[in-house]
Amino acid sequence: MSQSPMAGKSETPALMAQHSNWLAARSRLWAGAPPKTAPVPDRADEPVPEPVVPWGAPINLLDLPSPRFIIRLVALRRGVRTIEMKGPARTREVVAARDEAIGLIWTHCRQLSLPTVGRLFDRDHTTILHTLRKQHLQGDHFYRRRRQGAK
C-alpha cells in the first residue's frame, strides 16, 4: 500500500479533515474497475512502410506553398526562431530572415493582400510595403496584381 501524502507532516485538525475528504473522493473515483480500452491489434508481423519523402529529399515547390511553410523554411535556413520573426526583434539576422520571408510570401502566395501578409508577422501593411520596396519587389508586380484584381 502506498504511503499517505500526510506522512511526516504536522497534522492539524483542518489538514486531517482535508486529507480524509481527499481520500474519500479518491476512493469514489477509483473504486470501480479501470475504464475499458479498445484492444490494440498486433501489427508486429506487418512490414514497416518506407517514408513517403526520404530525409534530405528536395522539397517540391511547384505547388503553391503555404505562408506558414515559407516562414518556417526561412527560419530554419537562417537559423532564427519563427517567434523572433513575428516579434519586435530588430537584430540584423532577424530582420534579414523576416524580409526574406515577406518577399517569398508576396511572390509565391499571390492571393494574399498586404494587410494579410502583415497580420502573419504582426505588422502593419505599410511595413510590408516598405520591405517589398527594399527588396525591389513592389514595383511592377504590385500594380500588375492590383490591375488583375480590378477586372
Which residue is associated with the grid cell 518506407?
Answer: 50
What CATH superfamily is the domain 70-150? DnaA protein, C-terminal DNA-binding domain (1.10.1750.10)
Q: Which cell numbers in the block locate residue 51?
A: 517514408
Of 102, 109, 101, nearest to 75 by C-alpha is 101
This prediction has a pTM of 0.54
| Phi-psi region at 86: left, alpha or beta (left = phi > 0; alpha = psi -120 to 50) | alpha
Q: What is the predicted pLDDT for the residue at 150?
A: 47
Angstrom CA distances, 107 to 61, 71, 102, 111, 117, stand at: 12, 13, 9, 10, 11
Identity of residue 113 = S
Which residue is associated with the grid cell 530582420?
Answer: 95
Q: What is the predicted pLDDT for the residue at 44?
A: 58
DSSP-based three-state secondary structure for 40: coil
Instruction: Please enumerate in sequence order all residues whose Cβ is within 8 A of that of 39, keeping only pairs 6 or more positions apart, or say none.
Output: none
Q: What is the predicted pLDDT for the residue at 36?
A: 60
Q: What is the predicted pLDDT for the residue at 105?
A: 92
Q: Which cell numbers in the block locate residue 7?
A: 506522512
Rounded distance, CA 24 to CA 29, Å?
Answer: 9
Q: What is the predicted pLDDT for the residue at 9?
A: 58
For the chain (length 151 residues), average pLDDT per consecutive 10?
Answer: 55 84 78 61 59 58 82 91 92 94 90 94 94 78 52 45
Q: What is the predicted pLDDT for the residue at 63?
A: 76
Q: What is the predicted pLDDT for the residue at 109?
A: 87
